[in-house]
Structure 1
C-alpha cells in the first residue's frame, strides 16, 4: 500500500506559479490607424467573451502618444459595473520590471552595481552549497539564474514578515547549478527590493513612489495592499470554474511581504505612462530618470529560458518578425496582466484583466503587433486548411495514446486542440512551413507528407524538441528493412541515467528507450554513423562494434561533438512474459490489504514535510478510514496551513488558499489520493495495463499504466519482488494552469497493522523542486468524530 503525499501542497505552490464602455482615443489619427484600432477592439472583445474574462482594459502607446485606452466588460459581475481606463487591477509579476529599473537607477547613482553581492546589504541572505558561499549578485537575482527555484509558500498567506521570508529562504536547497539555468524565484526580487531599502534607510514602497510613480504621474498606482483595497475603482477578481461553468470570486491576496516581485496595483492610464517611459529610454518630459545604458541593461538577455525566449532583468525577451519584443506577464488570484514593448516601432501596450490567468495575455502580444505595427510584406496566398483537418496520435512526454485535433474554428482560424489543455489558434504557415501558436512564438506545428502527397503526420516544435504525431489512420512506412536493426537491439547500461537504455523497434524505426524519460526514435545514420534523435537533433547516438563487427556499446553525443557517455551492451537474456493485471494485484497483496484496512479502520499518520526549495519544515497529519475518506493537515506555522478533506461524495481544500469546493475531475483527482484507492486499483481505475519491465534506482520494477476518465495517465512502477510501489509519474490538474508533471518516489516501507506503508516519500516537480515527507508514527483503530471528514467551509459551519 502507498499513502499518497499531500498533493495539495504541490498544487498550491504550482498555482502560485501562474499568479504572480466606450473606447477613449487620445487624439485624431488618420483613417487607416483608426480602422486598425477599431478592428483590434472588436477582436479583443471577441476574445474576452471566448476566454470568459469578466472585465479588462487595454492602453496602447504609439510614437509617444496614447492611441487607445479602453475598458471591456465589467469589474463586478453582480453589480455589472463597467470597466474603464480608470479601473484598478493587480499587475502581478509585471511589477518585476519596476524593481529592476529601480536597481538601475541606483547603479546610475553609484549606490550599487549590477554585479555587487547582495550580502553587502543583506548579510544573512547567504546561500551555501557544499560549504561554499554562492556569490549571488543583483544581476543573478533579477534574471532568475541562481539555481534556486520558487519558494512561494513563504509569502503566500501574507503573514510572514519580509525579514523572516528572507531568513528562511536562505535555508533552501538549490535545484540546479549556480548560473546554469532559468528558475523563476519571487523571493529573489524581494531581496533586491529590501537591499535597496536598507541602502536608503527607507522602504521599497516609498522608493517606488519617489523614483517612479510620482515622476511619471502614476497617481492611481500603489504597491500597498490596503491603499489598493480602499480604491473605489478597484476591480473584483475572478477565476473561471470549468466544472460549475461559473466564475468564482477570488479574495485579494495581500502581497505586502513580497511587493517587489508582484505587489503593484494600477490602471491602464497610469501604466501607459510606464510604457512611454520605457520606450523613451528612461526619459520623462525629455528628462532622464535613468540612463539609457542602465535601462538597456534590463532589456538585455542574461539567461536562456527556451530556444526562442530569453530573460533580461524583469523582462522576457523574444522576437516578432525578427524584431525584439520586451514583455512580461503577471498573474495573481483573480487578476492577469500583460505588458509588452516593440521598441523598433515605438509601440507598446498594457492589458489588465480580472481573471486569474488567460491565454489572451500572451495572445494579445501578436494581436496588437499584427494590427498596429508595420508588418513585413507577405505574399497574398490563401492556405487551404481543410487538408490538414484531422486527428493525430501523441505519444511523447505526458501524452500517452492522446489525440491532438487540427480543426478550423467558427471564425475561420486554424487551431489545434491539445488534450487536457485548450484549443490554440494558429497563425498561417511561414516560409519554413511552421504554423506558430497565436499565444506564443515559442511553439509551432508543421506537417509531413507521404510519398503520395497526403498529410501523414503533424509535428510540434517546442523548446528545441520536434515531436512527431502520426495522423490517425496513417501507417508509418519503414525507411529501410527493419531486420538491419536486429544487431543493435538489447539493453545498454547507463551510469549517468542510473538504468538501462533499451534499443528496440518502434514505428519501423530504431528507437532508444531512455529510463525515466521516453522512447526516442532515431534517424537513419549519417556518413559518420551518427543517428540523431528524431525529436531532438542536437542529441545523437553512435554504436560501437568490436573487430568481429559485433555491437558492444552505444555512445551518446551532444551536437555530434561532445561525448556524453559510452554505455556497454548487456548480454542477451531470455525475455520473460509480462504478468497479467491480476498477477500484479496478487503481487501487491491487494485483497489482504483491503481486509486489514477494514479490520483496523480508523488510521492516523503523523510526521514532517520538508519543502526543500523553501527551506521550511512543517508538521503533517493524515487521518483516513476504510471508506475512502481522508483528511490531510499540513501546518507550516506562521507560513500557514494547507488542509484537504475528502469523503465518498465531496471534497474541499482550504488554508493558505481560500476555501475551494472540489468538483468534477478535481474531486476525482482528490479521491484518487485516498488510501483505499491506492490499494484497490481494479475498482478505482478504468484501465490498467502492464507496460513492461524497467529499473528504478537499481530496483527491478514492472511499469503499469493506470487510467481514469478525465484524468491524466499515471505510470506506476511496482517492485518485481514484493509489490511495493517504488515510483509514480503523472500530471496534476490545476485550475487556471492545466496539467503539470510530477514524480513521486516511495521508500522505507514498514509492515504495520496489516498494511505496508512507505515512511518516506519524495515529490518532485521541475518548477517547484522537491518535497520530502517522513512519517514518524502510524496509529490504527482511531475513533474520529463525524466532523473530521466534513468538507464544508469551517468558517460557515
Structure 2
C-alpha cells in the first residue's frame, strides 16, 4: 500500500535497475559446498560459471556486505534468463534460482546497482543443486525453495481452479521468536488487498437502496471539507477523488510507522485539508484516504462498525471463519504471522499498530481468501450485476480509462483477462490475482518485506496456465539493435525533464549511449526505438523526446501501462547562485498541525522536525529544493520576501506552510 519512509514517489512506482556499461571480470567456476568472497567496485561486473546437467535446479545465496547488487543469470547459450534484486539495500541476502534446459555452463553475474556508490563486499554460495521438479505441485514448491526454511520468514500459497482449491501450502516461519511455521491456515495482514472488500460492502448497501456510488461523500461524512467540488463515493473507490493520501499526510506530520493510528486520527487530518491534488475525476492517483472514508460510510449507513458489517454480510456467509477487519491494535488474533525486514544484522521485526480499516487491515488466510474468489464464479453473496459493476474500468472526466476499477485493477496478463491487487504494509506482502475466464486464481501472502508477492503469483500462473498464455516471440535480431543515432542528435536530448514536482529525470550521454536518472533512483539505459523514442531498459516503458517546430527539444513524455506523463524540459540551474540563508526559518502547517525548521548547516539547507530524521535539501530551480520529503517550493510576496513554502510528494501536492520567523 505504501512505504512509510519519507521519500519521493519512484519513477512511476518502478525501481529501475542499473544496466550500465561495466567491466566484466571472470571470477571462475562455482561448485557445491563452496563459498566465494569478493570485493566489487562501481563499474564492475563479476561473472561466475556453474556446470549444470539438463533439467537441473540450482539455488544460490548471495550475502551483500555494504553494497547493493543486482544478480543476472544467463543460460548455456549466453541468453539472459532473469534478474534478482530484493529491496534490502546494501546488506542482507539475495536469493537466486536457476533451472537448466540443456547441459552446459550457466552464468551468474553480479554488478552494483549504483555506479556512484563505494566498493563493497559479498559472499556467494551454492545452496542446492538437484533434479528439477516434474509435477505442478513440485514446481510450485521449487519456486519457494528459498523461503522453505525454519530460519527465515516465508509465504503461504493457494491455487484455485474450477471451483476448488487445488493446491495450498506454507513455507518458512510465521514467528521467528517461537519457531512457528507458516501453514495455509496462518493469518496474515493483507494490506491493500483489503480495498475490494470495502468496495463490495458499499455495493451491497447500494443494492439495498441505502446509498449510491454517485452520492457526495459529504452527505455521509460532513467532516470532509467542502472543496467547492463534488467528491463522489465512486471517485473514492477508483482513486480519482483528488484527496491527499492519508499516509503521506501523516508521514509529513512526523508520524512513525509503528505509531498507533486510528480512524479518528485519519478523519481529523482529513478534516483540516484545504486543497485537493486535482479536481475530482480528472486524474488517477492512488489514494488510501478514499477507502478509509468508504469504510466509515458503511459504518454510518449500516449502524454497525465496519468490522461488524463485513463479518455479518461477507465473512460469515462465505464461511471465512479466520477473517476479520482489525480495528483494535490490542486485539488477540490466534495463529497470526508477524512481519519482518532485513538489515545488516539479519531479520528484524516490522511492528504494525494500525487501528483503522477500509484501506487496509484485513486479516485472513489463503484458505479463506480462496472462498472469496470462489464467490465470483458461484455467488453466495452479491450477484452478476454487482460483480460486473465492481470489475468495470473507471472513466476519467476526459473519457479515458487507466486500468483501475472499483477497489481493484483490471487488465491483461499474457493475453488473458486478469483482475488483481497487491498489498504492502510493514513486512507483509500480499497478492490476489483472478482470471475469470479460466475460473482460476492465485493467492500469495508473505511476512518479509524483501518478498515480491506479485512476481511469485505470476510465476505460479505461468505454470498452471502455460497452455493458454501468449508469449511474445523473441526475434534473433531486433530492429532496436540496428538503430544508430548520430551523437549530435543525442546531445540535444541531454538535460533535465520534470515529470512531477520533485521528480526530475536527468538525461545524460556516455559513449554514445543515453541514460536516464530519476530523482532518488538508479540510472537506467535508454535503447532507441526510433530517432526520438527510447525504450526504458528493464521495464515496459518508453521515453520520447518532443521537438518544437524549430527542432529544439522542449519536452519529453513517459509512456507506461497505458498512461502518458508529460515532462517539460527545465532550464539548467546553477546551485552556486543560491543564498541559503534566505530560506532559513520556522514554518507551520495548519493542515498538519506541525512545524518545519529550515536551517543552514555545512553549506546545506537542512529540514528539521521533532520526529523526523534531518533532511538535506538540494536546490533544483529558483526557490525550489528537493529532498527525501519531495519538493519544497518557497513562496515570496510582492516585496520579494519569503512568506511560506509548499511541500509536494507523490501523493500530496502543494501543502502550505506559513513562515513564522
State the TM-score bracket (shorter-chain normalisation): 0.5 to 0.7
The structure-2 alpha-carbon separation of the partners of 1:225 and 1:196, relative to structure 1 and needing over 3 Å to count, comes to closer
**Which residue of the partner structure matches residue 186 of structure 1?**
288
Question: Do the aligned residues in 2 keep the contact of 1:148 with 1:183 (CA within 8 Å)?
Answer: no
Tell me whether 1:277 sits opposite 2:375 in the alignment: yes
Tell me whether 1:59 sits opposite 2:158 in the alignment: yes
Q: Deviations over 1:546-565 (max 9, x none)?
A: xxxxx8x8898999xxxx99
The structure-2 alpha-carbon separation of the partners of 1:606 and 1:214, relative to structure 1 and needing over 3 Å to count, comes to farther
Question: Do the aligned residues in 2 keep the contact of 1:142 with 1:313 (CA within 8 Å)?
Answer: yes
Larger Rg: 1
The structure-2 alpha-carbon separation of the partners of 1:111 and 1:343, relative to structure 1 and needing over 3 Å to count, comes to same
Give ranges in structure 2 of 5+ residues lacking alignment: 15-86, 88-132, 502-506, 516-522, 536-541, 559-564
Which aligned pairs between 1:325-404 and structure 2 lie closer than 5 A?
A: 325-355=418-448, 357-376=449-468
**Matches of 1:38 and 1:524 in 2, distance apart?**
41
Q: CA deviation at 1:160?
A: 6.4
Q: CA deviation at 1:300?
A: 1.7
In structure 2, which of residues 183, 204, 207 is the aligned counterpart of residue 84 of structure 1? Answer: 183
Q: CA deviation at 1:207?
A: 0.6
Q: CA deviation at 1:772?
A: 4.6
**Matches of 2:350 and 2:9 in 1, distance apart?**
17
Q: CA deviation at 1:209?
A: 0.6
Q: Deviations over 1:72-100 (max 9, x none)?
A: 10111132211112211111111111011
**Which residue of the partner structure matches residue 44 of structure 1?**
144
Which aligned pairs between 1:431-450 and structure 2 lie closer than 5 A?
A: 431=473, 448-450=480-482
**Which residue of the partner structure matches residue 630 of structure 2?**
742
The structure-2 alpha-carbon separation of the partners of 1:625 and 1:158, relative to structure 1 and needing over 3 Å to count, comes to closer
Question: Do the aligned residues in 1 keep the contact of 2:320 with 2:371 (CA within 8 Å)?
Answer: yes
The structure-2 alpha-carbon separation of the partners of 1:746 and 1:628, relative to structure 1 and needing over 3 Å to count, comes to closer
Further displaced range: 358-367 or 151-160: 151-160
Question: Do the aligned residues in 1 keep the contact of 2:8 with 2:650 (CA within 8 Å)?
Answer: no
Tell me whether 1:200 sits opposite 2:302 in the alignment: yes
- Give the superposed CA RMSD: 5.5
**Matches of 1:213 and 1:233 in 2, distance apart?**
18
**Which residue of the partner structure matches residue 230 of structure 2?**
135
Question: Do the aligned residues in 2 keep the contact of 1:490 with 1:504 (CA within 8 Å)?
Answer: yes
Q: CA deviation at 1:115?
A: 1.8
Tell me whether 1:104 sits opposite 2:203 in the alignment: yes
The structure-2 alpha-carbon separation of the partners of 1:59 and 1:627, relative to structure 1 and needing over 3 Å to count, comes to same
SS at match of 1:262: coil
| Bigger share in helix | 1
The structure-2 alpha-carbon separation of the partners of 1:216 and 1:620, relative to structure 1 and needing over 3 Å to count, comes to same
**Which residue of the partner structure matches residue 350 of structure 2?**
250
Tell me whether 1:543 sits opposite 2:549 in the alignment: yes
**Which residue of the partner structure matches residue 633 of structure 1?**
609
Which aligned pairs between 1:127-526 and structure 2 lie closer than 5 A?
A: 127-128=226-227, 133-152=228-247, 153-154=249-250, 162=263, 165-170=266-271, 171-226=273-328, 229-241=331-343, 243-244=344-345, 246-255=346-355, 258-280=356-378, 283-284=379-380, 289-302=381-394, 310-355=403-448, 357-376=449-468, 430-431=472-473, 448-450=480-482, 477-479=484-486
Give ranges in structure 1 of 5+ residues lacking alignment: 1-6, 20-32, 379-428, 436-445, 452-476, 498-502, 512-517, 526-530, 545-550, 594-604, 635-641, 645-669, 679-714, 720-725, 733-740, 750-756, 778-797
**Matches of 1:240 and 1:122 in 2, distance apart?**
41
In structure 1, which of residues 122, 138, 141 is the aligned counterpart of residue 221 of structure 2? Answer: 122
Question: Do the aligned residues in 2 keep the contact of 1:328 with 1:340 (CA within 8 Å)?
Answer: yes
SS at match of 1:188: helix
Q: Deviations over 1:759-783 (max 9, x none)?
A: 8554432233344545534xxxxxx
Question: Do the aligned residues in 1 keep the contact of 2:199 with 2:407 (CA within 8 Å)?
Answer: yes
TM-score w.r.t. the length of structure 2 is 0.62
**Which residue of the partner structure matches residue 62 of structure 2?**
none
Question: Do the aligned residues in 1 keep the contact of 2:395 with 2:401 (CA within 8 Å)?
Answer: no
The structure-2 alpha-carbon separation of the partners of 1:57 and 1:111, relative to structure 1 and needing over 3 Å to count, comes to same
TM-score w.r.t. the length of structure 1 is 0.53
Tell me whether 1:619 sits opposite 2:595 in the alignment: yes
**Matches of 1:9 and 1:335 in 2, distance apart?**
15
Question: Do the aligned residues in 2 keep the contact of 1:228 with 1:234 (CA within 8 Å)?
Answer: no
Size of the alignment, in residue pairs?
504
Question: Do the aligned residues in 1 keep the contact of 2:243 with 2:290 (CA within 8 Å)?
Answer: no
Q: CA deviation at 1:158?
A: 6.2
In structure 1, which of residues 757, 760, 768 is the aligned counterpart of residue 652 of structure 2? Answer: 768
